[in-house]
């Protein structure tokens, strides 16, 4: 496996590489789908924040996501043949993801929730399994092997993280107690997007760019396919948390209604 940057000698137009790494502007049904997912998720966020259990559930979703990224960084984002610069960069990235895991775990503990991560939910497990099959299928077509699909999947996951955190910060507003935590992580994830983009421009050789484009299209297609089901699942979870916390709210209201108690 080559250890130098394969893209350096006859690098293509940097703007072309950049364009394929950025999420393409959605048109037609995918655009409508993205808007629908955004609206459902904003409604789900408001509902989940309405109860302590819902807020803990949201933080646990972040915790599990961050723990999965940490695991992927350890297992797939470096190999023994990785260039030294990439190993150093992955080590720093891993430290930052561990920091996110600690911050979300602290926020959960402050709210009395469990910080045991366990397994990702069923939908996320299916998505991860499809990504892994995709990585194995594409890896032989790149001189840097599985590192390229690993960073392509990582890029899309970080881009999704930025979208999710931006929507969340926007929905709760700057005065919400969780805003500083989410905005801080958003800054880090935005930097990780740039890091993954920079890495891909260095490890993908020019003749491999059409294959990278096809790979990114497939990754984003899988992500989109899970968008609506994921947002509906989130909305239902918010509804369930609000419903479960209702007896406690009713109990708190009872003394006001009954002057003899
Ligand atoms: Fe993170
Ligand atoms: Fe990240």
Mean pLDDT by runs of 10 across the 261 residues of the chain is 43 62 84 88 93 92 88 75 88 94 96 81 81 91 92 94 96 97 98 95 92 93 77 80 67 46 42
Find the 236 Cα to ligand 2 centroid distance in Å.
27
CA 101, 182, 216: angle at the middle one, nearest 5?
75
Task: Find the domain containing 209 and state its range.
Answer: 38-243
Find the 151 Cα to ligand 1 centroid distance in Å.
14
pLDDT of residue 173: 96
Q: With respect to residue 158, please indicate whether it lies within any of the assigned structural domains.
A: yes
**Which ligand gives the minimal distance to the CA of 157?**
2
pLDDT of residue 2: 40
Q: With respect to residue 73, please indicate whether it lies within any of the assigned structural domains.
A: yes
pLDDT of residue 165: 97
Q: With respect to residue 261, please indicate whether it lies within any of the assigned structural domains.
A: no
Q: With respect to residue 98, please indicate whether it lies within any of the assigned structural domains.
A: yes
- Provide the CATH number for the domain around residue 223: 1.20.910.10
Find the 226 Cα to ligand 2 centroid distance in Å.
20
Note the pTM of the prediction, 2 decimals: 0.82
Q: With respect to residue 162, please indicate whether it lies within any of the assigned structural domains.
A: yes
Q: With respect to residue 32, please indicate whether it lies within any of the assigned structural domains.
A: no
Alpha-carbon span 173 to 179, nearest angstrom: 7
pLDDT of residue 231: 77
Provide the domain count of the chain.
Answer: 1
Q: Taking the CB of residue 221, how many other CB atoms lie within 10 A of it?
A: 12
Q: Annotate the chain with DSSP letters as a single string.
A: ---S-TTSTT---HHHHHHHHSPPPP-HHHHHHHHHHHHHHHHHHHHHHTSHHHHHHHHHHHHHHHHHHHHHHHHTS--TTS-HHHHHHHHHHHHHHHHHHHHHHHHHHHTT------SPPHHHHHHHHHHHHHHHHHGGGSTTTTHHHHHHHHHHHHHHHHHHHHHHHHHH-TTSTTHHHHHHHHHHHHHHHHHHHHHHHHHS-GGGHHHHHHHHHHHHHHHHHHHHHHHHHHHHHHHHHHHHTHHHHHHHHHHHH-TT-
Find the 150 Cα to ligand 2 centroid distance in Å.
13
Q: With respect to residue 193, please indicate whether it lies within any of the assigned structural domains.
A: yes
**Which ligand gives the minimal distance to the CA of 92?**
2
């Amino acid at each position: 496996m080559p250890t130098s940057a394969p893209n350096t000698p006859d690098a293509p137009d940097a703007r072309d590489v950049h364009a394929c790494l950025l999420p393409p502007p959605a048109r037609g049904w995918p655009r409508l789908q993205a808007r629908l997912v955004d609206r459902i998720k904003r409604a789900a966020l408001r509902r989940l924040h309405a109860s302590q259990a819902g807020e803990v559930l949201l933080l646990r979703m972040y915790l599990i996501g961050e723990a999965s990224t940490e695991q992927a960084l350890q297992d797939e984002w470096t190999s023994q043949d990785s260039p030294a610069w990439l190993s150093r960069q992955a080590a720093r990235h891993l430290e930052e993801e561990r920091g996110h895991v600690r911050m979300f775990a602290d926020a959960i503990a402050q709210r009395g929730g469990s910080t045991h991560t366990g397994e990702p939910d069923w939908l996320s497990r299916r998505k991860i399994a499809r990504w892994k099959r995709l990585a194995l299928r594409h890896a032989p077509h790149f001189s840097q092997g599985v590192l390229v699909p690993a960073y392509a999947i990582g890029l899309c996951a970080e881009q999704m993280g930025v979208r999710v955190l931006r929507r969340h910060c926007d929905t709760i507003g700057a005065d919400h107690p969780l805003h500083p935590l989410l905005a801080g992580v958003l800054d880090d994830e935005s930097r990780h997007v740039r890091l993954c983009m920079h890495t891909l421009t260095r490890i993908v050789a020019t003749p491999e760019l059409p294959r990278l484009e096809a790979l990114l299209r497939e990754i984003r297609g899988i992500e989109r396919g899970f968008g609506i089901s994921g947002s509906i699942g989130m909305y239902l979870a918010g509804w369930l948390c609000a419903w479960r916390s209702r007896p406690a709210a009713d109990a708190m209201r009872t003394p006001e209604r009954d002057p003899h108690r």
